[in-house]
């Protein structure tokens, strides 16, 4: 994992080598947190281009320098991400006569692109954003993973192209930035889709078979994503999703630690402590720093590059876990993000008429909400966070299933609960969805502070919305970020009034804690 940035002079008559290198270093400086300090500014300067990274070494840590340049074709690549089927693809390429210098993801992606062209994108099972430059004809190819786990932005000012992992790297260069969309590649100034989420439903499979397949694919997903000799941290809320990830990570890796955010006695702390005690897993508790919440909120708006109060609250909450991981020397983390959207975990799925439309809305929106928050907050702490629920094989299977598999009786996420009912205790598989901020005991604290901030609201960015989102949006703009024309989240589909789940959820949680017979 790393932060990547690039500057390209598309007019070959320009001689701006000194300027573009300085610009590149300035861009990388704004996202220095995305790599190890000793790996800052790894770069290569061409006559019309400057490309570089701040690298967080994970695979082939000593030899995997970037940019990687193919000596025969001259193609150069900067890469951010992980390819989980690296070994399989490497064997295929070797069998077809492709030669390798090492075993890194970065080299594999470049070799795959040179050998297969843009069709290589459909072969990758992983999370990635990368840029390939051909100095021979001064052309650029860039791409992003299917669901947008890893970010990539671009802008053009005159004849100069800019690319970067975060918006803040482009501040001051232009106020007209664009995001490369999930499942898209960029070529010749245009974005084109190589993957679109399928809307078709597979109705030949019965629910029992789907449950068994889901269990199998989740085992494979986590096993692939903990294939490392480094220690692994798991963001663990004590809920179903993160409990599954923690249980499987501990099954396939010998050095796993759970990190739980919450105040003593809060629901998340109680559930997390009990499961870790039963499984014999080390657990670390951490909490949100309340010393100067107003300043902390401003910082997290800048870091997360978000203005939605719900996202800011979650960013503050999860940052406590990633910050502690950084202190403990953890470089690789897993989280349960994506599960509620894919498996219909939110209470909205119980009341909505068209559950399929809601599911598609949520998974298509992940890249600029939950996944953006996880990427920014983990990388701000120089931690690589992986999301096993969005594994390519698992996602394609689950998104094809009928919604009645997911929502049954009084339970959302029914299929996922059934898939692990024999491996996890009832008090976990029956626990209802609760936002991390609510379960940790933080509740509406951040929302209340945002609501009461003394920002100037004479010119509200969103006139029909409450003060909390308008205050956050104004701070967002102060940092130089451009607001979209409309909000990404919709009340009734993405959040309740005030941004929190219903009190019914908290009542069910209390019953699960207080009745040993229900806990199993």
Q: Which residues are annotated as a binding site?
A: 105, 261, 335-336
Residue 485: Cβ within 10 Å count:
5
Averaged pLDDT for residues 295-312: 93
User: Distance between CA atoms of 10 and 17, rounded to whole angstroms?
Assistant: 13
Residue 214 has pLDDT above 90, yes or no: yes
Q: What is the pTM of this model?
A: 0.92
Which segment of 33-37, 47-51, 311-315 scores lowest on mean pLDDT?
33-37
Q: Hey, what domains does the chain have and what are their CATH numbers?
A: 1-191 (3.60.20.10), 207-503 (3.40.50.620)
User: Distance between CA atoms of 313 and 319, rounded to whole angstroms?
Assistant: 10
Here the tokens at position 110 are 């470049």
- Residue 483's SS3 state is coil
User: Distance between CA atoms of 153 and 166, rounded to whole angstroms?
Assistant: 7
Q: Which residues are annotated as a binding site for L-glutamine?
A: 105
Average pLDDT, rounded, for the chain? 89
Please give the DSSP secondary-structure letter assigned to residue 433.
Answer: P
Q: Which residues are annotated as a binding site for ATP?
A: 261, 335-336
Residue 129 has pLDDT above 90, yes or no: yes
Residues sharing a CB contact under 8 Å with residue 29, sequence separation 6 or more, in sequence order: none
Strands 232-235 and 332-334: parallel
User: Distance between CA atoms of 436 and 442, rounded to whole angstroms?
Assistant: 9
Strands 68-69 and 49-55: unpaired
CA dihedral 106, 108, 110, 113 (to 10 degrees): -140
CB 438 within 8 A of CB 506: yes
Q: What is the pLDDT of residue 437?
A: 67
Please calculate the CA angle 468-470-472 and round it to the nearest 5 degrees. Answer: 70
Residue 131 has pLDDT above 60, yes or no: yes
Write out pLDDT tens, residues 393-441.
Answer: 999 999 999 999 999 987 899 999 999 999 999 999 999 887 776 766 6
Here the tokens at position 473 are 């949006």
Averaged pLDDT for residues 298-316: 93
Averaged pLDDT for residues 234-243: 96
476, containing H or E segment: helix 467-478
Q: What is the pLDDT of residue 62?
A: 59
Residue 262 has pLDDT above 70, yes or no: yes
Q: Token pair 């119980």 is at which residue?
A: 350
Q: What is the pLDDT of residue 508?
A: 38
Strand order across the 160-164 sheet: 42-45, 49-55, 2-9, 160-164, 153-157, 178-179
Sign for the CA dihedral angle at 69, 62, 372, 158 comes to: negative
Here the tokens at position 241 are 């999703």
Please give the DSSP secondary-structure letter assigned to residue 287.
Answer: -
Write out pLDDT tens, residues 1-33.
Answer: 689 999 999 886 655 455 899 999 999 999 999
User: Distance between CA atoms of 346 and 341, rounded to whole angstroms?
Assistant: 7
Residue 338 has pLDDT above 50, yes or no: yes
Catalytic residue among 2, 120, 276, 385: 2
User: Distance between CA atoms of 31 and 252, rounded to whole angstroms?
Assistant: 33
Q: Which residues of 488-500 are buried (b: 16+ CB within 10 A; e: fewer)?
A: ebeeeebbeebbb
- Residue 212's SS3 state is helix
CB 437 within 8 A of CB 314: yes
Residue 167 has pLDDT above 70, yes or no: yes
Q: What is the pLDDT of residue 518?
A: 31
* 286 noted as active-site residue: no
Environment class of residue 38 by beta-carbon count within 10 Å: exposed (0-12), middle (13-18) or buried (19+)?
A: exposed
CB 446 within 8 A of CB 437: yes
Write out pLDDT tens, residues 69-117.
Answer: 999 999 999 999 999 999 999 999 999 999 999 889 999 999 999 999 9
HSE of 268, CA atoms in CB hemisphere, 13 A: 30
- pLDDT confidence of 519, banded at 50, 70, 90? very low
Averaged pLDDT for residues 361-367: 96
């Amino acid at each position: 994992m790393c932060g990547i940035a690039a500057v390209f002079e598309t007019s070959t008559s320009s001689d701006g080598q000194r300027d573009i290198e300085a610009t590149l270093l300035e861009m990388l400086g704004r996202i220095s947190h995305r790599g190890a300090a000793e790996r800052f500014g790894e770069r290569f300067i061409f006559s019309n281009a400057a490309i570089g990274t701040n690298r967080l070494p994970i695979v082939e840590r000593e030899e995997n320098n970037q940019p990687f340049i193919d000596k025969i074709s001259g193609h150069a690549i900067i890469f951010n991400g992980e390819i989980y089927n690296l070994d399989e693809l490497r064997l295929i390429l070797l069998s077809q006569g492709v030669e390798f210098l090492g075993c890194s993801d970065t080299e594999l992606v470049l070799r795959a692109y040179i050998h297969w062209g843009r069709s290589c994108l459909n072969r990758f099972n992983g999370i990635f954003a990368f840029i390939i430059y051909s100095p021979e004809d001064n052309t650029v190819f860039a791409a992003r993973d299917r669901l947008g786990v890893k970010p990539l932005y671009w802008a053009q000012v005159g004849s100069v192209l800019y690319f970067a992992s975060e918006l803040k790297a482009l501040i001051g260069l232009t106020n007209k930035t664009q995001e490369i969309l999930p499942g898209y590649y960029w070529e010749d100034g245009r974005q084109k889709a190589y993957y679109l989420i399928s809307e078709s439903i597979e109705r030949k499979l019965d629910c029992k078979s789907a449950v068994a397949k889901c269990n199998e694919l989740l085992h494979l997903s986590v096993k692939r994503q903990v294939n490392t000799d480094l220690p692994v941290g798991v963001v663990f809320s004590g809920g179903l999703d993160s409990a599954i990830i923690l249980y499987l990570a501990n099954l396939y890796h010998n050095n796993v630690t759970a990190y739980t955010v919450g105040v003593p006695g809060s629901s998340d702390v109680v559930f997390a402590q009990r499961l870790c005690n039963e499984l014999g897993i080390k657990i670390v508790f951490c909490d949100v720093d309340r010393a100067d919440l107003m300043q902390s909120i401003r910082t997290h708006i800048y870091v997360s590059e978000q203005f939605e109060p719900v996202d800011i609250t979650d960013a503050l909450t999860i940052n406590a876990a990633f910050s502690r991981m950084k202190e403990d020397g953890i470089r690789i983390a897993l989280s349960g993000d994506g599960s509620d959207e894919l498996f219909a975990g939110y209470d909205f799925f119980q009341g909505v008429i068209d559950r399929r439309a809601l599911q598609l809305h949520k998974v298509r929106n992940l890249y600029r909400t939950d996944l953006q928050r996880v990427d920014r907050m983990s990388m701000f702490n120089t931690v690589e966070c992986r999301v096993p629920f969005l594994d390519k094989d698992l996602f394609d299977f689950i998104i094809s299933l009928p919604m009645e598999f997911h929502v049954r009786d009084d339970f959302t996420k029914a299929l996922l609960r059934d898939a692990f009912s024999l491996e996890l205790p009832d008090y976990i598989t029956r626990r209802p969805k609760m936002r991390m901020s609510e379960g940790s005991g933080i509740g509406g604290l951040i929302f209340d502070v945002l609501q009461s901030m003394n920002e100037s609201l004479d010119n509200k960015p969103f006139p029909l919305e409450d003060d909390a989102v308008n205050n956050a949006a104004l701070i967002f703009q102060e940092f130089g970020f451009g607001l979209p024309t409309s909000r990404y989240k919709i009340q009734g589909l993405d959040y309740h009034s005030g941004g929190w789940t219903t009190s019914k959820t908290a009542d069910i949680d209390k019953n699960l804690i207080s009745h040993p017979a229900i806990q199993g």
